[in-house]
Structure 1
Amino acid sequence: MSPSHLPQADSSSDSLPSSAKRSAVEAAGAASRRRWITLGVGALAALGGVGLASWRMQGGGATQAAPQNFWQTSFEGPAGETVQMAALRGRPLLLNFWATWCPPCVEELPMLNRFYGEHRAKGWQVLGLAIDQPSNVRKFLQRLPLDFPTVLGGLAGTDLARSLGNQKGGLPFTVLFDTDGSILKRKMGQLTTQDLQDWARLM
């Protein structure tokens, strides 16, 4: 059998002009790249979704080390005394961030004072942490004395509030610490009598 009569392999691609071959190869490569890009974007979106969900579930909550750091801090009282947070550990503590220039803060202070008077015999503690000028706080306490202690937070108090879950830095902000020193409840905004009643039942 002569070479001209031998069976020929399928050479349709070989029979294409070189420019057509290059176009076909480039098209195949582009399609492959598109598939990988699509898969990559999908994977990144999935990971991003997981991260976003995790962030939302945390809700801008307190950092893990925040409670321990809190118990290791100290603040100055209105009379210049040093108040160690460690001395308050072991009993329920209602920590209230406030300021004299914050109307909702000032409005809820008498309610907190009544709560303290009604529950202090049961071991409850209330601590006001003022994010304000010391002179303003001293003048305010002269006009409206409080039975529970108040300390001067300053800028350190703002940082503390953020670490405890107050990501927006608003006032008032209240944190309830359990007897073991952990955070039990938090509230951004003005407290209500119902809030305090519900929290009191937790202990």
Structure 2
Amino acid sequence: MLSRRALACALICAAALTGCAREQAPAVDYVLLNGQKASSKDWHGKVMLVNFWATSCATCVKEMPQIIATHDKFKARGLDTVAVAMSYDPPAFVAKYAETRKLPFGVAIDNTGSVAQAFGSVQMTPTTFLINKRGEIVKRFVGEPDFAALHGLIEQLLAEA
């Protein structure tokens, strides 16, 4: 007899193989560190990497160079990235981190926690979402992703019409 988890995984895999609809990324509005207002509507037609992180999160800090490298590798082909700092992260820390590490993508501070809430009550950092050109969540990574597998998935999504 299958455990509930095994059954859930089997159903998800079966759904993925049959091409059923994926969950749509939530509609969110946010403000970037530079003061620019942005929205998930801006993501249409792009493959998006949405990374929830915090300056106090050791794994987040450890993975950030690989997030940067992933962004740099695929940005010319249609990948965009937004790093969403958690509501408990002091904005001054986030701004200093982004400036000193020269983060090459948008950084948002989720002051109210509304963006994390919209993405399914994200609480663990890092949590990263990969979203296809149609605005569907393809993968949710809790913890540091396997970057080789992530790159392969990005390649597939960028090749889609």
TM-score, length-scaled by structure 2: 0.77
- Determine the C-alpha separation between the residues in 1 that align with 2:146 and 2:23: 25
| 1:108 equivalent among 50, 58, 63 | 63
Q: Which residue of 2 aligns with 1:190?
A: 144
Cα distance per residue 1:24-54 (max 9 Å; x no partner): xxxxxxxxxxxxxxxxxxxxxxxxxxxx949
Q: Which has the higher strand share?
A: 2
Amino acid at match of 1:159: Q
Q: Are 1:146 and 2:103 matched, yes or no?
A: yes
Q: Which residue of 2 aligns with 1:134?
A: 91
Aligned residue for 2:130, secondary structure, equals strand
Q: Which residue of 1 aligns with 2:117?
A: 159
- Determine the C-alpha separation between the residues in 2 that align with 1:136 and 1:173: 19
Q: Which has the higher helix share?
A: 1
* Structure 1 alignment gaps of length 5 or more: 1-51
Contact 1:83–1:151, Cα closer than 8 Å, also in 2? no
Query: 133-142 vs 99-108, which deviates more?
Result: 133-142
Structure 2 CA distance for partners of 1:88 and 1:170, relative to 1, 3 Å: same
Alpha-carbon offset, residue 145 of structure 1 = 1.3
TM-score, length-scaled by structure 1: 0.62
- Determine the C-alpha separation between the residues in 1 that align with 2:101 and 2:66: 13
RMSD of aligned Cα (Å) = 2.9
Higher relative contact order (CA 8 A, sep 6+): 2
Structure 2 CA distance for partners of 1:171 and 1:134, relative to 1, 3 Å: same
Alpha-carbon offset, residue 197 of structure 1 = 2.2
**Dislocated runs of 4+, deviation >4 Å:** none
Structure 2 CA distance for partners of 1:66 and 1:129, relative to 1, 3 Å: farther
Contact 1:97–1:161, Cα closer than 8 Å, also in 2? no
Mapping of 1:55-134 within 5 angstroms?
57=8, 67=24, 70=26, 72-131=27-86, 132-134=89-91
Question: Structure 1 vs Structure 2: percent identity of aligned residues?
Answer: 23
* Structure 2 alignment gaps of length 5 or more: 13-20
Q: Which has the larger radius of gyration?
A: 1
- Determine the C-alpha separation between the residues in 2 that align with 1:123 and 1:158: 24
